[in-house]
């Protein structure tokens, strides 16, 4: 099962630390799941971002927005 953890940041220099904590918890509690972290900024192009998010047919999407 593919789970995508997606961060949307205000600037490219910012990193969403919460995604890494969530990934660690998921790997510990659900070892059969595959997790993928993807980070974007509010300035990234809209359609390519949506295409990347939906790629691979993830079972669930988790968003963290700063």
> pLDDT per residue over 27-51, tens digit each?
999 999 999 999 999 999 999 999 9
- What mean pLDDT is reported for the chain? 91
Domain ranges for the chain: 2-65
Sorted by sequence, the CB contacts under 8 Å of residue 18 that are 6+ apart come out as 7, 64
Predicted model pTM: 0.85
What is the rounded CA–CA span in Å between residue 16 and residue 14? Answer: 7
Strand stretches in the chain, DSSP E: 2-9, 34-41, 60-65
Residues 43/10, Cβ–Cβ less than 8 Å: no
Q: How confident is the model at residue 17 (pLDDT cuts 50, 70, 90)?
A: confident
């Amino acid at each position: 099962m593919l789970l995508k953890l997606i961060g949307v940041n205000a600037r490219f220099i910012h990193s969403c630390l919460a995604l890494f904590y969530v990934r660690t918890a998921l790997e510990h509690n659900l070892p059969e799941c595959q997790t993928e972290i993807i980070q974007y900024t509010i300035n990234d192009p809209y359609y390519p971002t949506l295409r990347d998010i939906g790629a691979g047919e993830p079972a669930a999407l988790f968003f963290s927005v700063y």
